[in-house]
Amino acid sequence: MTRPGLTTACAAMLRRDLTLAWRRRGDIAMPVLYALIVTMLFPFALGPEDTLLQRIAGGVVLVTVLLAMLLALDAMFASDIEDGSLEQLVLAPQPLALMLGMKILAHWVTIALPLIVISPLMAALLHLPAAVMPVLLLALLLATPLLSLLGAVLVALTVGTRRSGMLLALMLLPLCVPAVIFAAGAVAAAQQGLPWLAPISWLAAALVLAVVLAPLACAAALRIALDS
């Protein structure tokens, strides 16, 4: 009896989660709308001064994207636990951490990627100079998967608790502070014409670490959550 290879299993997981997300595409639109509305409100609240908006643009876009991701975070494993799919996944003859990694990847593709796609529009609403845009996109491409991975670990740790949303936000806050500092630091440095590679490298290093460790932590946390 031969078991399917890792590629087949990964593809099956990824396809499953992307299909599910596509069947509920209204849910994907929510974070995008939220992020757009928040960025649109800033010029109204602060006045349309170019210099002020330019100075805060990078930070506002980053924080808005991270908060928008937070909206969709606690749903990452909820439905799988409810309908028993997670039990079946734990019992499948495949490495659980890798399968969860695929779930996190699918979550990032469906939640963070649309936000990254509209981020140039958000930045333009706040008059961010076009020259800084590539640095902003790079910072987002590194910071959002980092947040997805850290968030997944916390979601896995809090699955058993009722109303975990509040707890999740409180726990995630200190963890995403470094990501925000480095990402916004890179954008600010690029805006002032300073070298921005160092903060980006820190983000990349944190992401590499999270890619390796977060799925393992997720798998352990979910096994414990089921074993009760």
Rule CB under 8 A: choose which of 25, 29, 83, 160 binds other proteins: 83
Q: Does 55 bind other proteins (CB under 8 A)?
A: no
Query: Does residue number 105 form part of the binding site for other proteins (CB under 8 A)?
Result: no
Among 57, 99, 136, 157, binds other proteins (CB under 8 A): 99
Among 42, 62, 77, 94, binds other proteins (CB under 8 A): 94
In 8-34, which positions are buried (b, 16+ CB within 10 angstroms) versus exposed (e)?
ebbeebbeebbeebeeeeeebeebeeb
Scanning residues 62 to 81, which ones bind other proteins (CB under 8 A)? 79
The H or E element spanning position 204 is helix 197-226
Considering the rule CB under 8 A, would residue 28 count as an interface residue with other proteins?
Answer: no
> Buried b vs exposed e over 119-128: b needs ≥16 C-beta within 10 Å?
bbebbebbbb
* From candidates 29, 49, 87, 212, binder to other proteins by CB under 8 A: 87
Minimum CB distance to other proteins, residue 81 (Å):
9
With CB under 8 A as the contact rule, the residue among 67, 97, 109, 226 that binds other proteins is 226
Among the residue ranges 84-92, 116-124, 126-134, 155-163, the one whose residues contact other proteins (CB under 8 A): 84-92
Q: How far is the CB of 196 from other proteins (least distance, A)?
A: 42
Query: CA-based angle 57:116:159, to the nearest 5?
Result: 110
Applying CB under 8 A, does 89 fall inside the site for other proteins?
yes
Asked if residue 110 lies in contact with residue 192, where contact means CB atoms within 8 angstroms, the answer is: no
Q: How far apart are CA 66 and CA 112, in angstroms?
A: 9
Q: Which is nearer to other proteins, 47 or 84 (CB)?
A: 84
- Residue 150's Cβ-count burial label (10 Å; 0-12, 13-18, 19+) is buried
Using CB under 8 A as the binding rule, whether residue 26 contacts other proteins is answered as no
Among 160, 173, 66, 158, residue whose Cα is nearest residue 111: 66
Residue 67 backbone dihedrals phi, psi, to 5 degrees: -70, -40
H helical segments located in 92-163: 96-107, 113-125, 133-158
The contact pattern for other proteins, residues 156-195, with x = CB under 8 A and - = no contact, is: ----------------------------------------
Residues that bind other proteins (CB under 8 A): 1-4, 8-9, 11-13, 15-16, 19-20, 23-24, 79, 82-85, 87-94, 99, 226-228
